[in-house]
Structure 1
């Protein structure tokens, strides 16, 4: 399994960047995790649009779906140019009307992720997070390796068992410690580190970062609890697990 951060920001992208999203690869299968602002542009630094095999959308806030419309138009154009059309499945929960908009003619198709346990080579599990809207954390496993992506969430004890012994925990860290408990639906670096420790994961990667302050302080906060490898996600860097 290989994981490439495409963007790391929460809310909106900084200049020439993208909101939190990841390209996950295994055996030639390519899965996009969330598709917010700037993601489609970043994705094309790594693969062609038609090489994308599936998309997961964790919830319907704009910083996680803003580029879905652009992706659908890209599929329309690429299918017109291709000898053989390819329908792109977009996996998401169906608790909002936005689920229906994920289907666009025969170019993209909405699929209920809560009724899915396999996407290509990946075994999939989901759990509801602590967020103002219905949002799903996702555990992805392939070839004996596992990664948990928290998506957007405040502190949620159920994530400890859900993340247990993952090879990689990709956790949101949208807040600094001084804001802990003041802004609903998001965690601090300290809480991400505590989750990593309690779940006994091997590595912690921080994403969905704030637009102010020194982001490296989030790493220091996480290290208060988690003594293994912790770092900020780096867009474009490959994180292989073999």
Structure 2
């Protein structure tokens, strides 16, 4: 299983970069976790849009969904000119799919994410868990048939759910929106120290800090996470690639 970080910024992208977007590739299958601002452009450096199998949207904040509607138009055009054969499957975690602005059901199949159901994409199985956030938000787990496991937190505050959901994962891609000094500022996001604590309790194989702030020294995030977690910690960056 291959992970490519398309975007890792919280709130808005720095120039020529992107907010949340993570490409997973395995046995010819290609899925995208979140599709934030700048992701659609960056994604095309790594995969042809007509080859994308599915997209999973963890919640409806713009930095996680901003490019989704442009991807719908891309799918429409690619199918009309014969480059893409099948509609794109889009899975969204929200309370009411009818309030979304998708316009072309013949080109995109929009599905609600059900926390109780597993989605199979080729040899990948995808499951979900509820987060703590100010809008409905879920974490995503991707398991391959060879026993590898990646967990992506989406946006979440500290909660037992994300600890249990991440337990035993090979890679945990975990939001780290705040420095420790900001603890309590927003209960829907994690500090770096909290991220490290979750990784330690869950005994994940390695930790990738993402959804990064636009200020401060990001190396301090690693220092703060490492006060709890003593395995490998990396800062996400646009274009980062990892084999799991």
TM range (shorter): over 0.9
Runs of 4+ in 1 over 2 A off after TM superposition: 96-105
Q: Counterpart of 2:142?
A: 140
Q: Find the aligned partners of 1:138 and 1:99 in 2 and give their Cα distance.
A: 23
Instruction: Say whether 1:161 aligns with 2:151.
Output: no
* Secondary structure of the structure 2 residue equivalent to 1:138: strand
* Secondary structure of the structure 1 residue equivalent to 2:154: coil
Q: Counterpart of 2:23?
A: 23
Q: Counterpart of 1:176?
A: 179
Change (3 A) 1:158 1:150: same
Q: Find the aligned partners of 2:93 and 2:42 in 1 and give their Cα distance.
A: 25
**Superposition TM-score, scaled by structure 2 size:** 0.94
Question: 1:60 Cα deviation (Å)?
Answer: 0.5
Q: Counterpart of 2:194?
A: 191
Question: 1:106 Cα deviation (Å)?
Answer: 1.3
**Superposition TM-score, scaled by structure 1 size:** 0.95
Q: Counterpart of 2:70?
A: 70
Q: CA offsets per residue over residues 103-147 of structure 1, 9 Å max, x none?
A: 623111111221641231221221110100000011110020001
* Secondary structure of the structure 1 residue equivalent to 2:17: coil
Task: Give the alignment's Cα RMSD to 1 decimal.
Answer: 1.5
Question: 1:183 Cα deviation (Å)?
Answer: 1.7
Q: Counterpart of 2:8?
A: 8
* Secondary structure of the structure 1 residue equivalent to 2:143: strand
Count, aligned residues: 241
Contact kept, 8 Å, 2:157 with 2:187, in 1: the verdict is yes
5+ long unaligned stretches in structure 2: none
Instruction: Say whether 1:59 aligns with 2:54.
Output: no
